[in-house]
Amino acid sequence: MDIAQEVFGRRRPIRQKLIDYGFKADNGANSLIYRASFMDGALTAVVSVRFSPAGETSVICRALDADTGDEYALINIASSTGAYVGAARDEYRMLLEEIAEACFYDVPFCSDQANRLSGMIENTYGVLPENPFSNVDHAGVFRDPCSGKWFGLIMQIEKGKLLDEPDTVPIEIINVKIDPDQLPELLKKPGIYPCYHMNKKKWISIALDDSLDDDRIFELVRKSYKLIHPHRHWIIPSNPALFDVGAGFDAGGGVLTWHHRIHVAVGDTVYIYQTEPVAALRWKCEVIACSLETETPINHPVTRIMYLKRIETYDKDRYPRSWLNEHGIKKTVRGQRSAPDELVKALET
């Protein structure tokens, strides 16, 4: 990896800040360029930032001999040593880092597809990537918030390691867990390979180079999550005088947004109980997404948002409070809580 990749790989540009810094239009509005001298004017750094119509960006950097205009290639050859090339390397990196700090923002991963998937995972599961390796920077693991087990691992490797070939071009991959019976069929699809670094019978590696589209990859992420997530049941109260849950489901096409401070996760079952004057269990729901709330008042406990898909609506006379009292709910539902095993058994059998 060259110096520019190290500096800008996990950063994305902000156009106006580039312009404010001194970047100029180059071959149209979709490309900006900046030139700066270093090593007492002997070398020139040229930084070009290109914006695609799809919103993706690329950064191309070159170090040129100021007199001849030839590229000073030694600056990116790690094996090149000597006082001059070492000093040039340091000044070049410092110049690029200054631009990055002033005009770019950080992203978790290098490839646009990896960052899009990371955002989809955060929005759906409320999970952020964690670096699982002390000696590797370009990696992020996604854990089930309940069990702590991995359901995805994004990492950067040499492409040749997927193909068992001497290809040193860096590429990002995501490892996901699979049903072993589906492995032969999955390996026939473009962009899917025998798993690197993990069990090749239970995991696959997917190249994040747009060989496979985001939706197809995320479908495999969902299946991976289901394989490791322990299904749980919850019961939550609602006050009919304050909110009409049925109308909320109807307005949302069968999906309702709800706050929670319990450890609910995607795939869990949530039962909604209506308090007085109804005093009955009314809805069975599935959690289809669970994410961090974007805005939290100062000094207010951090809450999370879950998206409930209505599975079944119960008549108010079917599971009244007296029935609940006979099946594990001692008095009434006073807060969000896990559903007692006795209650779940009675409802699900």
pLDDT, tens digit, 9 for 90 and up, residues 270-291: 999 999 999 999 999 999 998 7
Q: Residue 182's pLDDT is what?
A: 96
Stretch 75-99: mean pLDDT: 94
Q: What dihedral angle (degrees, nearest 10) is formed by the CA atoms of 260, 343, 251, 293?
A: 10
CATH number for position 200:
3.90.1150.30
Q: Does residue 296 register a pLDDT over 50?
A: no
Beta bridge partners of 65: 43
Residues 240 and 343 in one domain: yes
- Spell 134-159 as b/e; 16+ CB within 10 A means b: eeeebbbbbbbbbeeebbbbbbbbee
CATH number for position 341:
3.10.590.10
Residues 341 and 237 in one domain: yes
> What are 47-86's pLDDT values in tens digits?
999 998 878 899 999 999 999 999 999 999 988 989 999 9
Residues 192 and 242 in one domain: no
Residues 89 and 16 in one domain: yes
Rounded (5°) CA angle 196-130-224: 55
Provide the mean pLDDT of the chain.
91
Residues 253 and 288 in one domain: yes
Task: Report the alpha-carbon distance of residue 77 to residue 85 in Å, rounded.
Answer: 10
Residues 91 and 163 in one domain: no
> What are 197-242's pLDDT values in tens digits?
899 999 999 999 999 999 999 999 999 999 998 889 999 999 999 9
Stretch 137-155: mean pLDDT: 90
Confidence of residue 167 (pLDDT cuts 50, 70, 90): confident
Phi/psi of residue 27, nearest 5 degrees: 60, 45
Residues 118 and 219 in one domain: yes
CA atoms within 13 A on the CB side of 239: 4
Last residue of a domain, one of 180, 209, 228: 228
Task: Report the alpha-carbon distance of residue 106 to residue 109 in Å, rounded.
Answer: 9
Q: Which residue has the tokens 């918030």?
A: 145
The domain in which residue 31 lies consists of 3-106
Last residue of a domain, one of 90, 106, 122: 106
Last residue of a domain, one of 88, 106, 124: 106
Beta bridge partners of 186: none
Residues 240 and 344 in one domain: yes
> What are 104-141's pLDDT values in tens digits?
999 999 999 999 999 999 988 888 999 888 776 778 99
Residues 223 and 237 in one domain: no
Confidence of residue 293 (pLDDT cuts 50, 70, 90): low
SS3 of 77, please?
A: coil
Q: Does residue 294 register a pLDDT over 70?
A: no
Rounded (5°) CA angle 10-12-15: 165
Residues 86 and 180 in one domain: no
What's the domain count of the chain? 3
Residues 19 and 32 in one domain: yes
Residues 304 and 196 in one domain: no
